[in-house]
Each structure stands twice: as C-alpha cells, then as structure tokens.
Amino acid sequence: MKYGYARVSTVHQELESQLQSLKSEGCEVIYSEKFTGTKTNRPEFRKLLSIVDEGDTLVVTKLDRLARNTREGIEIIEDLFAKGVKVHVLNVGLLENTTMGRFFLQTLLAVAEMERNIIIERTQEGKAIAKQRDDFREGRPRKHSKTQVDHALDLLANHSYTEVERLTGISKATLVRRNRERKSKEETNAK
C-alpha cells in the first residue's frame, strides 16, 4: 500500500499543497498533522509508523517532513527500511536500502539540518540587531500605537483610568503598565 504523510509546523500554515501532491502521487491513505518537526512524538506520524509494513511505500513531499535533524531522520528511515518499507521523497526520488541510498540519505538530511540551523542563526542575528534599536520590544506587537497611548496617558491628568479606558478603548491594565513605563523612562532621563 502507498501511504502519504504531510506535516506543517504551526496551525497557521496550510497542508493543502502537500495533500494535493500526495494524492497526485497515488497515495491511498494520507496522514497529516500540524505539529512541529522538532518533536518526535507527533501523534499522526506515530500512528502511520505503527501501520506501515513490508512492501508498503511511505511518500512525503520533502525529507524535512519526516525529521528536522540528521540523526532522527536516519533512525526513522532505517527503521522503515528494516520493516521492508520503501521511502519516496517527491522532490528527491525513491530512497533505497543500499550503500549509495544510505549515503544519499545522510547527505540530504545533513543539508536539511544545516539549512534549518542557518535559518535559526539568521533569525538570532536579526533579533540581535533589532535589540539595538531604542524602540525594540520582545514578543507580540503592541495593539495601540505610541501616539494613541501617549494621548490616553495625557488624558489621565484630568480623568480617571476608567474614564480614559471608556474614551480611548485602551484597557486600564495597559494604561497602568504604560504609565509606569513612561514614569520609569522619565526618571532614567532625569538622571
């Protein structure tokens, strides 16, 4: 039997293109999930691994759908080879349980892991550069602009937090937090 496996790392990503490719390849049963590849306990993938048997073929669109690092990828594919399962990676071809097939697999997985590490390094470098800016803030972007918050904080001179919240739509908790930030900044600048 020909099985397909599709995976994306986050719930915001779409599986549709992988599913279409696997259907086009003639997969009779397709397992899919939205689960990070850095975890090995992916539920749908574990179900699939427990079902595939000798003579079956496992099809994925790219090698990194199976694993995110070389060691894990080799273990998974060697386990599949030991069961007599063929592995077909659509953008590479059929991986075979031969000396050349194993060499090719190790090389591909090492390249995939290197690419992932380069992405992580670039992200960290970009973050380090961004942290040098005065307006850098870790985490989710703020809902209200600096101008909106400054206006709301100025209103606090003549209005209560509850009134300003009603007038501006900025929550009391946010106003209190931002007012503390403003006072702290003013004290730092005064020194």
Span 31-41, average pLDDT: 78
Determine the pLDDT at residue 188: 82
159-182 pLDDT, tens digit per residue, is: 999 999 999 999 999 999 999 988
Annotation marks residue 32 as catalytic? no
The residues facing 2 across adjacent strands are: 57
Closest by CA position to 32, among listed 3, 72, 64, 1: 3
- DSSP E strand stretches across 56-144: 57-60, 86-89, 93-95
Nearest 5°: the CA angle 51, 87, 72 is 80
pLDDT category at 37 given cuts 50, 70, 90 is low
Closest by CA position to 60, among listed 106, 4, 112, 111: 4
pTM of the model: 0.59
Closest by CA position to 44, among listed 28, 24, 61, 66: 66
Which of the residues 9, 21, 32, 171 is marked catalytic?
9
50-106 pLDDT, tens digit per residue, is: 999 999 999 999 888 887 777 788 888 889 999 999 999 998 888 888 888 888 878
Determine the pLDDT at residue 91: 86
